[in-house]
Amino acid sequence: MFEYEKRLAYPIKISKPDLEMAKVIISQYGGPQGELAAALRYLNQAHTAKDPRMKALLVDIATEEFSHIEMIAEMLTQLTKGLTIDDYRKANMLPYYTEHGFDLYYESSTNLPFRAEYISAVGDELANLSEDMAAEQKARAVYEHLIDQAKTDEVRMPLLFLRQREVVHFNRFKEMFDILEKEKKQK
């Protein structure tokens, strides 16, 4: 199902560490509106989707969301490159360091670990698509908040790219919703 190209969907070139920015971007890694929740939600829904068009759409978007996880991971890695325990201490991140060292961990910017309840599926394709559209809008809003906080274009530009992909995903889910809703009314 997956084909891996050894390149990011959008190039990440961050030249200066910024732990404060990493602390908030991590929310798109493992937070409730983040890329992991979206990828798992859509892949999960795809397996039980009755309509083959919806299944294909869900798998396509889930696959792209996994590439977004990779982008966020690379941003976090570059934003924390070369930092020390003292840097984590100054940023009040010793609890994070204690549990994870300098590794990445799926959590929100409020330090809540990733939770399965971020993933929704209710057994109804129209309801699932409504949830998926809402998820894309919430992720778009979070990206806009992150863009507002970005201090450099090196951080801002990948966030703008990711924000735009949320808009595209919303529109694709909306198109599918409209198709399935119309077909349901015709029955």
Query: What CATH number did the domain enclosing 54 receive?
Result: 1.20.1260.10
Residue 13 included in any domain:
no
User: Are residues 38 and 135 in contact, defined by beta-carbon separation less than 8 angstroms?
Assistant: yes
CA distance 58 to 56: 6
Considering the chain, what is the average pLDDT of its residues? 95
Residue 7 included in any domain:
no
* CB atoms closer than 10 angstroms to residue 113: 11
Whole domain around residue 149: which residue ranges? Answer: 19-186
User: Are residues 139 and 34 in contact, defined by beta-carbon separation less than 8 angstroms?
Assistant: yes
2 pLDDT above the threshold of 70: no
CA distance 45 to 38: 11
Residue 10 included in any domain:
no
pTM, entire model: 0.94
146-178 pLDDT, tens digit each? 999 999 999 999 999 999 999 999 999 999 999
CB-based burial label for 187 (10 Å; 0-12, 13-18, 19+): exposed
Residue 97 included in any domain:
yes
42-84 pLDDT, tens digit each? 999 999 999 999 999 999 999 999 999 999 999 999 999 999 9
Residue 6 included in any domain:
no
Q: Which residue shows structure tokens 């910017």?
A: 109
Strand ranges inside 57-153, DSSP E = none
Q: Is 103 left (phi over 0), alpha (psi -120 to 50) or beta?
A: beta
Please give the tally of structural domains in the chain.
Answer: 1
